[in-house]
Amino acid sequence: MLDGKRIILGISGGIAAYKAAILVRLLVKAGAEVRVVMTPFAKNFITPLTLSTLSKNSVLSEFYKADSGDWNSHVDLGLWADAFVIAPATANTMAKAAHAVADNLLITTYLSARCPVFFAPAMDLDMFRHPAVCHNIELLKSRGNHIIDAETGELASGLDGKGRMAEPETIVQTLSEFFNPKQTLNAKVLLTAGPTYEAIDPVRFIGNRSSGKMGYAIAEALAECGAHVTIVSGPVSVSVKNQKIKVIRVESAQEMFEASAKIFPNCDIAVFTAAVADYSPQFPANQKIKKSEQSLNLVLKKNPDIAAELGKLKSDTQISVGFALETENEIENAKSKISSKNFDFIVLNSLNDAGAGFGTDTNKVKIIDKHNTILDIELKSKQELAQDIVDVLCEHFNRQK
Ligand code: CTP
């Protein structure tokens, strides 16, 4: 999330300073290198030792080291950083920042910093809505500083209102979104997901172990980027969180094919994540089959290949993505599916990799495009992987537009 990012955490003197320990830990966990600068008063709320231990860097607070006379260079620190987060930002510190009152190292570092600056205000509710504070916040904003808005809730004074510092998780999330901006995808997307059930009789079916988790995670990530998503879904227990996603429920491959064929002509992107049964019983019984002979033969007929059939109708501007689960000759088989089904990309997962495939919450894949470029993605959660797949799609779609 913040891999290799160099972040200065400025801590000013408010009770929310106690949360700085968690903030440092989360920043370091997200991959950032953290250096802490604190106002002298902030040391009353949290010790430099706690912060230097967590950040693995010494904490700066004074202009110079009293014993050696060495100067702490706010200029070097300001130039070193990719981002400067001031959390908590008290009314006093924001006022000094807005008016260049450079009487401590935090403010001189702020005035020297060339990187983006984020203020996470924290104070009591009446202070927070005071016109002087509001004016300073507006002043800071108008100069391009980012404000991570305070939250509403119980305050240290015992009063209830707006003024609580944003939670450390929210601050890390804000930084992460700043450094990894989400792409937008103004597209209509058809996505097939889950297994199909092929009836043997009214109570039995041929199915498979697909959970639909990967497909639904991709649908969520697509919708998050602004795409209009319709899932044609086989029977699954997962459900959508984003209510803008339309879900059409089907059971058999034939039903999935018919529903998808109606949507496909009007979509910009089709993502075929469903584990469609290749065959179904040719003569499903109308009544429950009774046990009689020692063996039972079922005649199976081939189901429509949804991706291949729709691939034949695909226009030059439509993009389609397939999924393949292979156990041998993985890359060769995946590549041949790209051409036989007219895919632009195929996402290949291998059952040979631990943690990958059906039912698990993680997956490990390769994304292969029609020019045979292979992108190897390490084992990650299906949500994270969905985002990677959607990033590739966004890039391709937005480049093509
Ligand atoms: N697919 C489909 N309709 C089918 C079979 C597959 O839409 N009847 C889609 C899947 O959703 C997937 C891709 O085709 O995106 C490849 O699926 P896979 O099962 O690997 O391909 P098959 O053609 O069934 O090949 P195999 O013989 O390896 O099962």
Q: What is the pLDDT of residues 70-115, one digit of tens each?
A: 887 777 888 899 999 999 999 999 999 999 999 999 999 999 999 9
d(CA 177, CA 1): 9
104 is catalytic: no
Q: What is the CATH number of domain 6-179?
A: 3.40.50.1950
Q: Across the strands, what pairs with 34? A: 7
Q: Is the CATH number 3.40.50.10300 carried by domain 188-283+297-400?
A: yes
- Best residue among 337, 338, 342 to mutate for probing ligand 1's pocket (most ligand atoms within 8 Å of CB) is 337
Q: How confident is the model at residue 159 (pLDDT cuts 50, 70, 90)?
A: confident
The pLDDT tens digits of the residues spanning 322-351 come to: 999 888 899 999 999 999 999 999 999 877
Q: Atom 16 of ligand 1 has which residue's CA nearest to it?
A: 324
The pLDDT value recorded for residue 350 is 72
Instruction: Report residue 187: phi and psi, to 5°.
Output: -145, 155
Active-site entry in 57, 72, 92, 208 = 208
Q: Would you call 214 exposed, middle or buried from its count of C-beta atoms within 10 A (0-12, 13-18, 19+)?
A: buried
Q: How confident is the model at residue 1 (pLDDT cuts 50, 70, 90)?
A: confident
- Best residue among 191, 257, 258, 305 to mutate for probing ligand 1's pocket (most ligand atoms within 8 Å of CB) is 305
Interval between CA 250 and ligand 1 midpoint (Å): 17
Interval between CA 305 and ligand 1 midpoint (Å): 7
The pLDDT value recorded for residue 357 is 62
Please state whether the predicted TM-score (pTM) of the whole model is above 0.85: no
Ligand 1 atom closest to the Cα of residue 325 is 20
Task: Determine if ligand 1 sits within 6 Å of the CB of residue 323.
Answer: yes
Q: Residue ranges of the domains in the chain?
A: 6-179, 188-283+297-400
The pLDDT tens digits of the residues spanning 106-155 come to: 999 999 999 999 999 999 999 999 999 999 999 999 999 999 999 999 88
CA distances from 164 to 24, 40, 160, 173, 177 (A): 18, 22, 10, 17, 21
The pLDDT tens digits of the residues spanning 171-227 come to: 999 999 999 887 899 999 999 999 999 999 999 999 999 999 999 999 999 999 999
The pLDDT value recorded for residue 66 is 77
